[in-house]
Structure formats: C-alpha cells, structure tokens
C-alpha cells in the first residue's frame, strides 16, 4: 500500500505543472464515467478475483457507475447475478447474458457480447482483472471495438492515466489513453486487493437486467468448442490471494523433497509457489509457477527456498511486503531483494523451521 | 496448409535493462536483442507441425525497424521456409500489429497463425487475441499442447488457465498463442544458418498493406520501480523466526 501511495505522489508531481492529466482526452471531462466490469463466476457466486476490477474502477472517478457483466447459462449465472447485486455496494447494475453460448468462458462469444453491450451502453471504461479469463477476452473485444487495451494496470492516476509494469517489472510505464471511448484495461489483482469485509449484504439491491437472447443471433457462431477442464485440487489457500507464500526452486532436487515445502506451507497456513525450474523439472504442476509468465503474487510474507532470483521470477513476487530467502549461495540475486536472508542448506533449514515455528492459530 | 508465425525482436531476456535518465523509455541502443522467447516456441511448434506432414510451408513474419531482418534470419535458420518483413519505424502497439498481421493473412491465406502469448518487453499479451478478433477466427491462447486434425480441419488446444488446464477444439483457420511449456525450441545449426542467407525475405510497408498506423496510447514516462530497502542477513533459524515474529510481525 505504501509503495502505491508513493507512486501516486510521484505521478501527481509529474502532471501538476502543465494542466490536468486528462486534458488531452478526446471525450470530455464533464461526461460521466461509467464502467463495465467483466465478471467471472463459479458455483453461483462471483469469483473473488473479479472483484479487483470493481475495486479499481472506483479509482476512475467519484461518480463512476459500475455495471457488472456476467455471462453463463442456467441457474448458476442467475444466482451469481443475485450475489453480485445484493452483496457488493459499489456495483450499481448487473447485466446478465444467459444462453448456452456462454456455458463456458470462451473468448469468441464473450468478445462479441462485450461489443454488443458497449454499443448499447456507451461505457467510458471496460475493465477486467488480469487473470487468464480477462487476458483472453478483453483484447479480443478491444479489437472488435477498434481501441488499444491496457494490460496489467497497477495504478490508476486519472480516468485516462495508468501505470503498468513493463520488462518483467523492471520498469514502470505511465500511459495516457488518448483514443475514443471505451478505454479498456485489465488490472493486476494484487495491486487492487479486495477488502475481506466487502461481501456484506447491502440494503439496496442493484437492478439486474437480462440481455435479450435473440440478440445473440447468427453472427455469434462460435468456431471453438469447449472440451474439458482439469483443475488442481488444492486445500491450501489460493496462490494469488494468500497472506503467506512458500516457494521452492530447483535446489529442492525432486518432487519428493518438494513435499518439505508443502509441509512448511501447511504449518504456516500458506500457499505453495514454485519457480519455472521446479515446474519444468516436474516437481509441481505449472499453475504454481510464480513469475513474469506465471502468477503475480504480493503476499505479506514470501519465503523463497533454493530460489536463485532470476529476473523473470522476481517479476512475480517483488511487491511482497516481506521477503525471506534461504539459499546456499551467498551471491544469489534473490538476496538483493530479500528483507531477511539466511545463507544455508535448505535441507537443514526447513526441518529446523518446521520444528521451531509456532503452531498457526 | 501454410502456417504463419509472428516473431518479435526484443531486448534479450537475460539483459538487465536500464531506464533512460530522461524517463522517455528503456535504453535499447547497444543492447543485445533477440527473438522473443515465446515467439521461438511458436516457430518451433510450426516447424514440428510441418515436419509431421500436416503443413506445407512455414512463413515467419516480423513488424518493426530494419533490424528485424536479423530476427527473421534467425527464424529462417531455425527452419522457416520464407519470411516477410513489414518495415515500420513508428511506435507500434498491438492494435496496429494485429491490423498488419490481418492484412498479411489476407495476402497469404495461412491455415494457422501462431504467436507467442506475450512479448517480454511490453508484457502486453494482446496481439494474438486482437488479430483473432479482427479475422473473426477462433483463438487458442496460452497453449501448452496443440494437436492438428487435418481431415476434420480442427486444432485441439490445451490451454494453461488459472487453476488448471482447459482444452478447446478450434475450427481451422485459427490463431494460437504459445505458453512456455508448449515445447523446447531448437538451436539453429551452422549449415542452416548458411542456408538461411539465401532464403527470401519479402518486404512490405504499412501503406502497401493499407494499414494506417495510428496510436491511441501515449507513453507519459518510464521510471524505475521503487527500490526495496536493503535487507539483513541473519545467522540462524532462531534469529530468522525472532525477526519475523518481533520485527516484521508477519508470523
């Protein structure tokens, strides 16, 4: 949070002397800001991650009216709509597309749907959280609307002024959107954390409107078929939202040894992460990968065991509040970002930690 | 069937980049440039499909300044049959690249367009999805496995999504973007590097393709990320636990 505030301060300084940061925008400042958020749902409720985009939307302007677009088929999408309308006070409208075309989150019909809803609603902004869902759908929809989308925004400095990391997080780029409406962006969930208390029932239920299914006509012929989905069953907290993350690298040497990391995570109530080397060596499945090409995490505590600290890995965890590194090699680059470093053999350190760490409450 | 592969010339992944002091961007002169790693994977996949007899030709395409020719030569040395260079010196954003690629698809009529899932310089992860939208082709993004069925004219794509894997069946022609685990790209051998010198690189300009390069984004500034304060090296597990408990208050 502190880092974010600091960055915001830097930006204000930058744009202050000339004029307001959105003076160059082509749509006028007077116009009300209205945002369409693409929502992901599962089992009749909104996925927690999708709500980061709702949190971020509030930074666009005070009078932002936020509509959430949900698509799916049957009772589960309707339940999710009621959930969104009644639980989250910042959502002022829920739009539901209920059709068998949306049984699975496939990009083709979704992008067409976004185009259709935009043509009717004339939103100033369209947003999603940058998970695999948002990154798959939003750029396609942007192409249909002929606008440039902005990926992985970590800071909103004005309705058209955004900060995003480039070069694996080694530089921060401030971009101004100068095109016509809608301005489309995906936001990084760890930069716009959803407060735990946000899911309280509110007194006024937002209106839910159903999209007329007849509008999904002939031009919505889908050339992709959804076949299957395999998910990694995990009883541990979700890597993207965990308070503590314990990560192992190549130095663990085998899948068998990696179990030590899992044990430690269990003891701390933490999620398990891995480096690309550990994933490629087959120690763990790839959705545990943290880095530029894997998940981006920013937990309160990040413990890295046997991780050298390659640029691509640091890109995924450098915003963690406290970083602990345990490595045999005192020159490993990970020690340059670690708050606490311990030079030692992880095969001795982990068992000792397991023994001496206090039981979680 | 032809396969078209889009490749991008980027700052080599191992280079530690430097932000320019005037905050206008990242230093790219006198820096080692290479083919974007995800594009290498895309090209490798195209070559494997061709080697299994399911494609007739692999065309490598790159958009950007004249030095992109070097990157295309690398692609030709890996095994691409020919290359196309769209020379454009202006700042290019994914929307423009997607429009140029669409125009090239209209010329070459490939059955499959393969791109990397993202370029490691701008980290956008947009071009593949955008060109698929413009072409109205199905898209298989973040692919970790691709199986072509020539008779049914479909591609089965396994995708890496949050929390697992998803499998889609796409009608051809289609757009596929590659994830890291799709394959291990080959090295160009010396004889192939020599052979690549005689392969054809066709040139186009955006004007010839009737694409207007305009941009609705403007880079205001590029800065270094905030530095983390220097850490401490602890000498024992006990000290570490003590620090985490009493100083950092995280356990």
What is the per-residue pLDDT across A138-151, written as a single tens digit (0 to 9) for each?
999 999 999 999 99
A148, A176, A228: residue with CB nearest B220: A176
Q: How far apart are CA A178 and CA A115, in angstroms?
A: 20
Residue A65 inside a domain? The answer is: yes
A53 and A165 housed in the same domain: yes
Q: Which helix (H) or strand (E) holds B116?
A: strand B112-116
Residue A93 inside a domain? The answer is: yes
A169 and A298 housed in the same domain: no
Closest CA to B37 of B19, B66, B14: B14
Smallest CA–CA distance from B239 into chain A, residue: A342
Tens of pLDDT, residues B194-227: 999 999 999 999 999 999 998 999 999 999 999 8
A85 and A121 housed in the same domain: yes
Please report which residue ranges of B8-109 form alpha helices under DSSP H: 37-51, 68-78, 94-108
A24, A173, A324: residue with CB nearest B222: A173
A129 and A175 housed in the same domain: yes
Least confident of A18-27, A212-221, B89-98: A18-27
A274 and A205 housed in the same domain: no
Question: Does the annotation flag A49 for ligand binding?
Answer: no
Hey, how many other C-beta atoms are within 10 angstroms of the C-beta on A99?
20
Q: How far apart are CA A357 and CA B56, in angstroms?
A: 61
Domain count, chain A: 2
Tens of pLDDT, residues A246-269: 999 999 999 999 999 999 999 999
What's residue A117's pLDDT? 96
β-pairing, B139-149 vs B154-161, is: antiparallel
The CATH T-level fold of domain B2-223 is Rossmann fold (3.40.50)
A39 and A118 housed in the same domain: yes
Pick the last residue of a domain from A187, A220, A253.
A220
Q: Which domain holds residue A92?
A: 34-220
- pLDDT < 70 stretches in chain B: none
Smallest CA–CA distance from B14 into chain A, residue: A311
Distances (CA, A) of B142 to A55, A222, A331: 27, 19, 34
Residue A28 inside a domain? The answer is: no
Residue A107 inside a domain? The answer is: yes
Question: Does the annotation flag A232 for ligand binding?
Answer: no
Q: For residue A318, give the CATH number of its domain.
A: 3.40.50.1220
Is residue A204 over pLDDT 90?
no
Residue A76 inside a domain? The answer is: yes
A251 and A172 housed in the same domain: no
Q: How far apart are CA A108 and CA A102, in angstroms?
A: 10
A227, A286, A341: residue with CB nearest B234: A341
Mutation target vs B (from A17, A22, A26, A140; most B CBs, 10 A cutoff): A140
Domain chopping of chain B, boundaries? 2-223
Pick the last residue of a domain from A204, A220, A236.
A220
Say how many residues make up chain B: 251
Tens of pLDDT, residues A272-291: 999 999 999 999 998 899 99
Q: How far apart are CA B218 and CA B226, in angstroms?
A: 22
Q: For residue A200, give the CATH number of its domain.
A: 3.40.50.620
Question: Does the annotation flag A293 for ligand binding?
Answer: yes
pTM tops 0.80, yes or no: yes
Is residue A3 over pLDDT 60?
no
Residue A20 inside a domain? The answer is: no
Smallest CA–CA distance from A10 into chain B, residue: B223
Residue A61 inside a domain? The answer is: yes
A3, A324, A330: residue with CB nearest B226: A3
Hey, how many other C-beta atoms are within 10 angstroms of the C-beta on A345?
12
A190 and A265 housed in the same domain: no
Hey, how many other C-beta atoms are within 10 angstroms of the C-beta on A319?
23
Question: Does the annotation flag A269 for ligand binding?
Answer: no
Q: How far apart are CA B225 and CA A165, in angstroms?
A: 8
A249 and A215 housed in the same domain: no
Residue A13 inside a domain? The answer is: no
β-pairing, B139-149 vs B57-64, is: unpaired
Q: Which residues of A touch B170 (CB under 8 A)?
A: 223-225
Mutation target vs A (from B36, B98, B163, B232; most A CBs, 10 A cutoff): B163
What's residue A98's pLDDT? 94
| Cβ proximity of B179 and B116 under 8 Å | no
Are B94 and A148 inside 8 Å of each other by CB?
yes
Are B13 and A311 inside 8 Å of each other by CB?
yes
Tell me, what DSSP letter sits at residue A85? H
């Amino acid at each position: 949070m502190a880092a974010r505030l600091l960055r915001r301060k830097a930006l204000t300084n930058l744009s202050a002397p000339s004029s307001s940061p959105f003076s160059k925008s082509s749509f006028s400042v007077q116009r009300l800001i209205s945002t369409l958020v693409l929502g992901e749902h599962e089992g009749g409720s909104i996925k927690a991650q999708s709500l980061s985009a709702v949190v971020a939307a509030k930074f666009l302007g005070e009078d932002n009216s936020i509509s959430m677009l949900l698509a799916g088929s049957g009772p589960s999408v309707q339940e999710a709509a009621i959930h969104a309308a009644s639980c989250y006070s910042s959502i002022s409208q829920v739009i539901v597309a209920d059709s068998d075309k949306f049984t699975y989150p496939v990009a083709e019909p979704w992008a067409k749907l976004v185009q259709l809803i935009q043509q009717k609603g004339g939103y100033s902004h369209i947003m999603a959280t940058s998970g695999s869902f948002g990154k798959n759908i939003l750029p396609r929809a942007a192409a249909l609307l002929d606008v440039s989308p902005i990926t992985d925004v970590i800071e909103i400095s004005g309705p058209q002024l955004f900060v995003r990391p480039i070069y694996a997080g080694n530089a921060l780029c401030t971009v101004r959107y100068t095109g016509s409406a809608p301005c489309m962006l995906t936001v990084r969930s760890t930069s716009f954390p959803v407060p735990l208390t946000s899911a309280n029932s509110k007194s006024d239920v937002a209106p839910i409107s159903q999209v007329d299914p007849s509008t999904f006509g002939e031009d919505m012929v889908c050339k992709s078929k959804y076949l299957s989905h395999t998910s990694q069953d995990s009883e541990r907290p979700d890597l993207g939202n965990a308070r503590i993350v314990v990560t192992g690298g190549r130095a663990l040497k085998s899948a068998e040894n990696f179990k030590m990391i899992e044990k430690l995570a269990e003891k701390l109530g933490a999620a398990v992460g891995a480096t690309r080397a550990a994933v490629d060596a087959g120690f763990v499945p790839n959705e545990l990968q943290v880095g530029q090409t894997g998940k981006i995490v920013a937990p309160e505590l990040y413990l890295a065991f046997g991780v050298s600290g390659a640029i691509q890995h640091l890109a995924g965890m450098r915003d963690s509040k406290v970083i602990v590194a345990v490595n045999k090699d005192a020159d490993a680059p990970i020690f340059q970002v670690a708050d606490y470093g311990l030079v030692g053999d992880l095969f001795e350190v982990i068992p000792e930690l397991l023994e001496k760490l206090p039981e979680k409450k | 069937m032809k396969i078209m592969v889009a490749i991008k010339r980027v700052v080599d992944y191992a280079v530690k980049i430097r932000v320019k002091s005037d905050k206008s961007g990242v230093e790219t002169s006198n820096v080692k440039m290479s083919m974007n790693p995800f594009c290498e994977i895309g090209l490798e996949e195209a070559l494997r499909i061709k080697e299994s007899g399911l494609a007739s030709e692999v065309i490598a395409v790159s958009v950007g300044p004249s030095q992109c020719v070097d990157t295309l030569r690398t692609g030709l040395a890996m095994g691409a049959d020919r290359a196309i260079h769209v020379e454009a010196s202006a700042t290019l954003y994914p929307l423009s690249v997607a429009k140029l690629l669409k125009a090239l698809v209209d010329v070459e009529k490939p059955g499959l367009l393969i791109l990397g899932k993202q370029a490691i310089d701008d980290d956008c992860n947009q071009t593949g999805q955008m060109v698929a939208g413009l072409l109205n082709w199905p898209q298989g993004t973040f692919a970790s496995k691709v199986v072509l069925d020539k008779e049914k004219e479909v591609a089965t794509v396994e995708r890496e999504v949050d929390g697992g894997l998803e499998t889609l069946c796409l009608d051809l022609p289609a757009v596929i973007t590659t994830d890291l685990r799709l394959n291990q790209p080959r090295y160009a051998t010396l004889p192939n590097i020599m052979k690549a010198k005689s392969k054809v690189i066709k040139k186009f300009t955006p004007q010839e393709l009737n694409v207007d390069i305009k941009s609705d984004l403007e880079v205001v500034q590029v800065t270094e990320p905030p530095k983390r304060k220097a850490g401490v090296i602890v000498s024992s597990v006990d000290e570490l636990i003590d620090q985490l408990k009493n100083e950092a208050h995280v356990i």
